[in-house]
Amino acid sequence: MTDGPRLVAGIDSSTQSCKVVVRDAGTGALVRQGRASHPDGTEVHPDHWWAALQEAVAEAGGLDDVSAVSVGGQQHGMVCLDEDGSVVRPALLWNDTRSAGAARDLVDELGGPEEGGRAWAEAVGVVPVASFTVTKLRWLAEHEPDNARRTAAVCLPHDWLTWKLSGSTDLRDLTTDRSDASGTGYWSAATGDYRTDLLERAFGAVPYLPRVVAPGAVAAGMNGAVLGAGAGDNAAAALGLGAGEGDVVVSIGTSGVVTAVTGTPSIDPTGSVAGFADATGLFLPLVATLNGARVLDAAARLLDVDHETLSRLALEAPSGAGGLVLVPYLEGERTPNLPDATGSLHGLTLATATRPALARAFVEGLVCSLADGLDAVVATGVTPSRVLLVGGAAASEAVRTVAAEVLGVPVDVPPPGEYVADGAARQAAWALSGADAPPEWVREGTRRYAVDPVPSVRARYAEGRSRHLDKTT
Ligand SMILES: Nc1ncnc2c1ncn2[C@@H]1O[C@H](COP(=O)(O)OP(=O)(O)O)[C@@H](O)[C@H]1O
Ligand SMILES: O=C(CO)[C@@H](O)[C@H](O)COP(=O)(O)O
């Protein structure tokens, strides 16, 4: 350890990659960073995350001079461990929809969509859909009973990485935090307790569960450094952005996500809004879609252009793309809960069969699906004064422009950065300080896109939204 400023590291083990930032614990200034890719697919062996983490850490100059580390990670992924601490099978990720039938069964068993939805929402803040861990465990019990029997502990991506960083192989050392625990479907943000009765109902047994570490507390040690509790990636992003009252965070990474930090837990029996916890002791109502930035990746592939050209093309077309509408359910959808849906293009005419109209329709379809998410979050009682737009696709000028046209509140785009990793770093600094609250880190350079309403865009999208074909089997 040097005599210089104390350094902290934040890690974002997200769907597509692992990112590491090393920051000054006192000021938050960025010192160095690294990144490594994850494999594609909705089923990934956790060893790939560990390898990517080490590669990203090496690119970031190592952790030897770092005093504290926290891990933010993609939520909900099912990591099953046997009694020796070995991984039982590749993790099923949040965007794996094979457990859609299990989700339906779990809701039916508590009384069907209305009564069952209310019962789940009241018990654990969420109504099961394929993304949540509890449904993946039901799927495992039904389809891979041998693997289910070997499962002595179940944890989430960030829990597993924190445990690996601690060097422990003892299941009793597994930890998680409120934000990620609240995405399992067997932990309640409202009461702060595991619902082992619901876990047993889903899985037929209660494997060992990680200890829930309080926000700002130390989870474990790592070669003389401290490990913070870590967080689900969306809670970490809110912490990295310093989101406060009136701020709604719209993140367009692999998932499209709308969240807000609130003082009371939310309960939505329709399941549109998940009643998660945040990373500071508050709550994080959240809407997530399966179709985020990859909708634009698909458009860029289709038009054989890069993202910058895609954005330029989209901005060449008028608002509304002449009536061309993309419903972006390219990977099925989670909100609305349509795991078997496919995307559709409506309003194709000779006039709209152009590259700019197609580019615009993809951008508008993506942003309109998130505008629906914003409406759902607002319906839980959040009053937004602005949207903070982050994630890979926030770099797109077309996305920013369309967001200002359809979201109905000013859109603030913070400077390009790794906000999940930053939130994890801020949490690490908090754990290091032992203080009651995270350190204040000043961030400058946010660019505002004023509201520029074009109501016809959402109205036209709403016409197309409910018309789609399901996947062929
Ligand atoms: N300029 C851009 N315009 C649109 N999408 C982009 C742009 N740059 C990156 N992306 C997309 O953003 C996604 C990565 O975003 P990120 O927030 O890192 O995702 P995740 O956290 O899910 O791994 C990729 O699908 C990538 O192609
Ligand atoms: O499922 C959710 C939230 O409920 C997703 O937001 C995952 O947490 C993955 O995030 P990204 O990799 O897209 O950032």
H-helix segments, 221-291: 233-241
Does residue 262 have its Cβ closer than 6 Å to ligand 2?
no
Phi, psi values for residue 291, rounded to 5°: -115, 90
And the tokens for 82?
Answer: 């046997």
Q: For CA atoms 414, 420, 423, 429, give the dihedral sign.
A: negative
CA gap 9, 89 in Å, rounded: 29
Q: How far is the CA of 12 from the centre of ligand 1 (A)?
A: 14
Ligand nearest to the CA of 36: 1
pLDDT band at 473 (very low <50, low <70, confident <90, very high): confident
In DSSP notation, 332-388 reads BBTTTTBTTB--EEE---TTT-SHHHHHHHHHHHHHHHHHHHHHHHHHTT---SEEE
Count of C-beta atoms within a 10 Å radius of residue 298: 17
9 and 66 in contact (C-beta within 8 Å)?
yes
The 10 Å Cβ neighbour count of residue 451 is 14
Determine the pLDDT at residue 3: 62
- Could you give the ipTM of this predicted complex? 0.98
Q: How confident is the model at residue 249 (pLDDT cuts 50, 70, 90)?
A: very high
Q: How far is the CA of 349 from the centre of ligand 2 (A)?
A: 36
Kindly indicate the confidence band of residue 202, based on its pLDDT and cuts at 50, 70 and 90.
very high
308 C-alpha to ligand 2 centroid (Å): 24
pLDDT of residue 235: 98
* Digit-coded pLDDT (tens) for 161-201: 999 999 999 999 999 999 999 999 999 999 999 999 999 99
- Average pLDDT of span 35-57: 98
C-alpha to C-alpha distances, 360 to 291, 306, 417, nearest whole angstrom: 16, 15, 25
Q: Give the residue ranges of the annotated binding site.
A: 75-76
The whole-chain average pLDDT of the chain stands at: 97
Distance of CA 162 to the CA centre of its chain: 18
pLDDT confidence of residue 335: 96
Total-model pTM: 0.96
Residue 403 CA to ligand 1 center (angstroms) comes to 16
Atom in ligand 2 nearest the alpha carbon of residue 274: 4
Nearest to 343 by CA among 325, 330, 333: 330
pLDDT tens figures, 271-321: 999 999 999 999 999 999 999 999 999 999 999 999 999 999 999 999 999
Q: Average pLDDT, stretch 129-154?
A: 98
Comparing C-alpha atoms, which of 335, 277, 339 is closest to residue 125? 277
Rounded Cα gap, residues 400 and 91, in angstroms: 34
Burial status of residue 88 (CB atoms within 10 A of its CB: 0-12, 13-18, 19 or more): buried
Q: Whose CA is nearest to atom 12 of ligand 1?
A: 392
| Ligand 2 close to Cβ of residue 97 (< 6 A) | no
Q: What would the pLDDT profile of 8-33 be if each residue is shown by its tens digit?
A: 999 999 999 999 999 999 999 999 99
Residues marked as catalytic? 233
Mean pLDDT of all residues in 62-83: 98
372's tokens: 């629906």
pLDDT category at 1 given cuts 50, 70, 90 is very low
Binding residues for substrate: 75-76
Q: What is the mean pLDDT of residues 75-91?
A: 98
pLDDT at 45: 98
**Cα dist from 7 to 22, 23, 222, 340, 463, whole Å:** 7, 6, 14, 46, 52
Query: Given pLDDT bands bounded at 50, 70 and 90, which one contains residue 5?
Result: confident
What kind and span of H or E run contains 311?
A: helix 307-316
Contact 255 CB / ligand 2 (< 6 Å): yes
For ligand 2, pick from 11, 13, 15 the residue to mutate: most ligand atoms within 8 Å of CB.
15
Confidence tier at 395 by pLDDT (50, 70, 90): very high
Name the band, by pLDDT with cuts 50, 70 and 90, for residue 443: confident
Distances (CA, A) of 256 to 182, 245, 431: 19, 21, 29
Given a contact cutoff of 8 angstroms between Cβ atoms, the answer to whether 363 and 293 are in contact is no
